[in-house]
Amino acid sequence: MIEELRAALADRLGPEAVSTARADLAGYEQGARYGQGRAAMLIRPADTAGVAAAVRACRVAGLPIVPQGANTGLVAASTPDASGTQVVLSLERLRGPLEIDPLDRTALVGAGVRLSALNQALAPHGLCFPIDLGADPSIGGMIAANTGGARLIRHGDVRRNLLGLEVVLADGSVLDLLNRNRKNNTGIDLKQLFVGSSGALGIVTRAVVEVHPLPRQSATALLVPRAPGDVPRLIGDLEAALGDFLSACEGMSRNAMACALRHRPRLRNPFQGGLLPGYAVLIELAASCGPDVVDLQAMLENFLAPRLEDTLADAIFGRAEDLWALRHAISDSLKEEGKVIAFDIAMPRSALPAFRAAATADLARDWPWLRVCDFGHSGDGGDHFNLVWPHDAAEPFDPACVEPVRALVYDRVVRDHGGSFSAEHGVGPYNQAYYDRYTTPDRLALSGAVKQLLDPEGRLGVVRFGSPDTTDNGATP
Amino acid sequence: MIEELRAALADRLGPEAVSTARADLAGYEQGARYGQGRAAMLIRPADTAGVAAAVRACRVAGLPIVPQGANTGLVAASTPDASGTQVVLSLERLRGPLEIDPLDRTALVGAGVRLSALNQALAPHGLCFPIDLGADPSIGGMIAANTGGARLIRHGDVRRNLLGLEVVLADGSVLDLLNRNRKNNTGIDLKQLFVGSSGALGIVTRAVVEVHPLPRQSATALLVPRAPGDVPRLIGDLEAALGDFLSACEGMSRNAMACALRHRPRLRNPFQGGLLPGYAVLIELAASCGPDVVDLQAMLENFLAPRLEDTLADAIFGRAEDLWALRHAISDSLKEEGKVIAFDIAMPRSALPAFRAAATADLARDWPWLRVCDFGHSGDGGDHFNLVWPHDAAEPFDPACVEPVRALVYDRVVRDHGGSFSAEHGVGPYNQAYYDRYTTPDRLALSGAVKQLLDPEGRLGVVRFGSPDTTDNGATP
């Protein structure tokens, strides 16, 4: 049956669009961080009509579909499970259109267009799509995950910059919600359903996004607070004074910075005498006007100078690239230090210091060798509270610790602070169990009903939005 | 039966919460601009539990409910129809809580809190909720309409500033979607369904909104472009250069300004020799930093000076209050000039000049005495394309013209420019027929299904989101 479907789709979409060869499939079966399964088939249509045809054919054949963008997601939401029955529907060939309207500051983009490609096309117009991420995802995947990133404090998430969508639904029909208006309140805003829902309600094929003037200058500093508890107040003061320009506010713990410096010997250690502080905050101001109009660097220095008398132990004005290099090196370098248990949590930003202290103390009781190497978007309450089980720990890594550690951390985040167990990575098999645990029964019921409405046969995606007691699709919790 | 229900609810919610007396009901039966009906009963609960109890009681009694905030909406979505069978459920007493978290820049607000009251409470913290409107709506109503306003170009609409919601559903249950996180991607974002859906999917009782630093300075100018067609390019240039500060960009036609000046004799005419140009654009820059840090006035003057050589015929730096007074006087003064046919349209902003020219020419053919007195949010493509049939026209006002005039204008907006027939006022009985006409069958079907899911008995609100062939509630098209 698979072979029949392959042949029919090859006829319809071209032979380059379909494969069941193991070698072709391998790259689509393994996620960027989690997710490792086996696909029944790979389909790579080149346009919306092709996606719709593929969905209809899979429906007739009774096969579940895993939509996949650039496969850079971090919760295993775009890779097949181990059953070998799921079809990976890659959107990577949907690279057209890429139409930029500079006067309206909008772009119509195919789901397979990469963030970097969009920004490359926008740059000659003095514009950018200001979602700043470590990876280079496709626009469709960014919508399915509602990505955030380091400039969220200034520009918001993908949802905030999304004007219109085209979606292929589970029945293979094309729902046209494309819209180029900044304001359009003409009924239920259906496109919102597809944002951040991991491809389980529909497959994004095209989008209209709002784009923004490219910054023409920035000013960057690394701040060392006298106490981590001072950070929320510092951010508040910074916003009150210079909030028009604040474009990033990234916290880094000593452990995280130490790890980056240890495993990336070419990184410059920016601190006086190389002495790492307990916590540092990377601040960036950006403006679309030039330094002839506004001198951001002077502005930032003037703001920080009096604070060196009280809340700040130090303020370091290195080269922006050097300071960002330290921040960007953290995530990968942790892997070289040991086994990483990664988190993507958020809470009201004022709660971060208390949470960090309490969770660190909790963990130290049962796993004293676990190293808290957290870093992240302090300005918006985000924290990649990543833990490292060092390779050189007395105890060898015990995979059985992962679930109790995650439960401990998430419980503090969600129950103590009303925080989020997935701030910007979305929901996938990696955190399905926590979705099930922390989602209230009424939200589960309504989410399940929405899923049922849009995908009654449970054919799309690998996330189960309804109650774990029901099976609204083939996902395993 | 009504009397029985009244008595039971008076017992449960207090006698001040229920009335069937005509005198009490009158103010709730008449909309701010459109809508004039007759209610079976008025219920004014004081809290969420009271709203839930009222909804359950109405459900048992089989009575439809019209949720009403401050009743300032402009599409008749909060007033009962003429049947005398609908219950008005006013949220005006839900004034608690109003909890401000200055460090996190969030506020937890009861649905009945007025915009002005929220801003009054925020001001001592140096914060504001930056949705700038002519009216003083309640927060619940603002969410139900997804209001925009004059500062949308800077701060977005209500949706962009909404973090969490509490909603009473049609079955009388309370759905808790309260959330104080800036980032929280843990499943389908259900709260989005209730934003801009006119109270027809659920009744907002509390909300968490993101609030922003109060501007500490602004700079305002009235620009006279040499040709209206130059306006989009001018806005683009302004954004590229000073986009970090641009907080309003309001266009005004000569007819609109003339009408305001004629009927508001205390208004200052800001133009040289009092000569009104064909079109003028009110520009505002705002910043949360003081003039010691950034001098917005100088910045704006420097930007405009070279443009006086080419695209600009004039740039007037009057007192901000005077310039805004002219803008704000327009809407009401039109009524004194004649019978107004009001519009709330939007399109990509680059299309506005062509649309205005074409629609004006169209109208002149059949109704040469109709005066186009448009004004609005040019920066985001919004236009209140209001028409006046002057009291002193040769022909007396013919109400039969209204529908063909609306159809002509909306057709140009929607079909020629992919624009919106309701940019920021939402959908209500006033524009239900146009919702029916311009919403594609697949959107109608899915919207109807969402309505069916959340309100299967069609008990909430006065908008029909499904196909006009079905009756998903008591609304008349």
**CATH code where residue B114 lies:** 3.30.465.10
Closest residue of B to A214, CA-based? B240
Q: Are residues B117 and B225 in the same domain?
A: no
Residue A175's DSSP bridge partners are A167
User: Pick from B57, B90, B123: which residue ends a domain?
Assistant: B90
| Residue A433 in tokens | 């169990």
pLDDT at A138 over 80: yes
With residue B331 as reference, give the H or E element that holds it. helix B320-337
Q: Does A423 touch chain B (CB under 8 A)?
A: yes
For residue A375, give how far its alpha carbon lies from the nearest alpha carbon of chain B (Å). Answer: 16
Amino acid B475: pLDDT: 40
With residue A217 as reference, give the H or E element that holds it. strand A217-225
C-alpha atoms less than 13 angstroms from C-alpha of A143 in its C-beta half-sphere: 36
User: Pick from B153, B182, B213: which residue ends a domain?
Assistant: B213
Q: Does A182 touch chain B (CB under 8 A)?
A: yes
Whether B442 sits inside 8 A of A176 (CB atoms) is: yes
Given a cut of 70, the residues of chain B with pLDDT beneath it are 470-477
For residue A380, give how far its alpha carbon lies from the nearest alpha carbon of chain B (Å). Answer: 6
In whole angstroms, what is the distance from residue A263 CA to residue A457 CA? 48
Q: Are residues B321 and B256 in the same domain?
A: yes
Q: Are residues B286 and B195 in the same domain?
A: no
Q: Are residues B36 and B175 in the same domain?
A: no
CATH number of residue B286's parent domain? 3.30.70.2190
| Residue B336 in tokens | 């004194």
A-facing residues of B in 118-147 (CB < 8 A) are 126, 145-146
For residue A140, give how far its alpha carbon lies from the nearest alpha carbon of chain B (Å). Answer: 16
Q: How confident is the model at residue A318 (pLDDT cuts 50, 70, 90)?
A: confident
CA B268 to chain centre: 27
In a domain, B259, yes or no: yes
Mean pLDDT, chain A, integer:
96
Segments forming the whole domain that contains residue B119: 98-213
Query: Among candidates B148, B153, B139, which has minimal Cα distance to B208?
Result: B139
In whole angstroms, what is the distance from residue B114 CA to residue A143 CA? 34
In a domain, B451, yes or no: no
Q: Is the separation of the CB atoms in B214 and B464 below 8 Å?
A: no
In whole angstroms, what is the distance from residue A454 CA to residue A278 CA? 49
Q: Are residues B309 and B228 in the same domain?
A: yes
Whether A185 sits inside 8 A of B382 (CB atoms) is: no
C-alpha atoms less than 13 angstroms from C-alpha of B275 in its C-beta half-sphere: 6
| Mean per-residue pLDDT, A98-105 | 96
Q: Which of helix, strand or coil describes residue A454?
A: helix
In a domain, B466, yes or no: no
Q: Are residues A33 and A127 in the same domain?
A: no
Whether A421 sits inside 8 A of B186 (CB atoms) is: yes
pLDDT at A315 over 80: yes
Rounded to 5 degrees, what are φ and ψ at A215?
Answer: -65, 140
Q: Are residues B388 and B312 in the same domain?
A: yes
In whole angstroms, what is the distance from residue B270 CA to residue B326 CA? 9
Q: Is the separation of the CB atoms in B131 and B157 below 8 Å?
A: yes
Q: Are residues A16 and A86 in the same domain?
A: yes
Amino acid A471: pLDDT: 57
Number of structural domains in chain A: 4
Q: Does B380 touch chain A (CB under 8 A)?
A: yes
In a domain, A252, yes or no: yes
Q: Does A172 touch chain B (CB under 8 A)?
A: no
B83 — alpha (psi -120 to 50), left (phi > 0) or beta? alpha
Chain B interface mutation, best of A104, A132, A182, A422, highest count of B Cβ atoms under 10 Å:
A182
A-facing residues of B in 208-247 (CB < 8 A) are 212-213, 232-233, 236, 239-245
Q: Are residues A407 and A262 in the same domain?
A: yes
Chain B interface mutation, best of A171, A179, A188, highest count of B Cβ atoms under 10 Å:
A188
Whether B182 sits inside 8 A of A243 (CB atoms) is: no
In a domain, B454, yes or no: no
| Residue B475 in tokens | 């609304």
Choose the closest CB to A103 out of B126, B236, B425.
Answer: B236
Burial class (CB in 10 A: 0-12, 13-18, 19+), A337: buried
> How far, in Å, are A175, A346, A468, B443, B447 from residue A449 at the CA level?
19, 27, 13, 18, 14
Q: How many CB pairs below 8 Å do chains A and B form together?
A: 267
In a domain, A428, yes or no: no
**DSSP sequence for A286-315:** EESS-TTT--HHHHHHHHHGGGGGTTEEEE
Choose the closest CB to B187 out of A243, A454, A465.
Answer: A465
* Lowest mean per-residue pLDDT among A20-29, A98-107, A286-295: A286-295
**pLDDT, tens digit, for every residue of A383-422?**
999 999 999 999 999 999 999 999 999 999 999 999 999 9
Q: Is the separation of the CB atoms in B464 and B452 below 8 Å?
A: no
Amino acid B477: pLDDT: 34
Q: Are residues B122 and B74 in the same domain?
A: no
Q: Does A288 touch chain B (CB under 8 A)?
A: yes
Amino acid A423: pLDDT: 97
| Residue B304 in tokens | 């405009």
For residue A71, give how far its alpha carbon lies from the nearest alpha carbon of chain B (Å). Answer: 18
Counting residues of chain A whose pLDDT is more than 70, the rounded percentage is: 98
Q: Are residues A110 and A84 in the same domain?
A: no
Amino acid B211: pLDDT: 98
Query: Among candidates B110, B104, B111, B148, which has minimal Cα distance to B130?
Result: B148
Choose the closest CB to B189 out of A102, A103, A195.
Answer: A195
Q: How confident is the model at residue A244 (pLDDT cuts 50, 70, 90)?
A: very high
Choose the closest CB to B418 out of A180, A381, A435.
Answer: A180
B-facing residues of A in 403-422 (CB < 8 A) are 418-422
In a domain, B240, yes or no: yes
In whole angstroms, what is the distance from residue A355 CA to residue A376 CA? 14
Amino acid B471: pLDDT: 56
Whether B182 sits inside 8 A of A381 (CB atoms) is: yes
In a domain, A262, yes or no: yes
Q: Does A181 touch chain B (CB under 8 A)?
A: yes
Q: Does A451 touch chain B (CB under 8 A)?
A: yes
B266 — alpha (psi -120 to 50), left (phi > 0) or beta? alpha
Q: How confident is the model at residue A476 (pLDDT cuts 50, 70, 90)?
A: very low
Whether B193 sits inside 8 A of A193 (CB atoms) is: yes
pLDDT at A477 over 60: no
Whether B427 sits inside 8 A of A185 (CB atoms) is: yes
| Mean per-residue pLDDT, A96-103 | 95
Secondary structure in 3-state letters for B270-296: CCHHHCCCCEEEEEEEEECCCCCCCCH
Amino acid A473: pLDDT: 47
Amino acid B228: pLDDT: 86
Q: Does B441 touch chain A (CB under 8 A)?
A: no
| Residue A228 in tokens | 């981590």
**pLDDT, tens digit, for every residue of B152-187?**
999 999 999 999 999 999 999 999 999 999 999 999
CATH number of residue B17's parent domain? 3.30.43.10
For residue A11, give how far its alpha carbon lies from the nearest alpha carbon of chain B (Å). Answer: 29
User: Pick from B185, B213, B241: which residue ends a domain?
Assistant: B213
Whether B299 sits inside 8 A of A293 (CB atoms) is: yes
Q: Are residues B236 and B192 in the same domain?
A: no
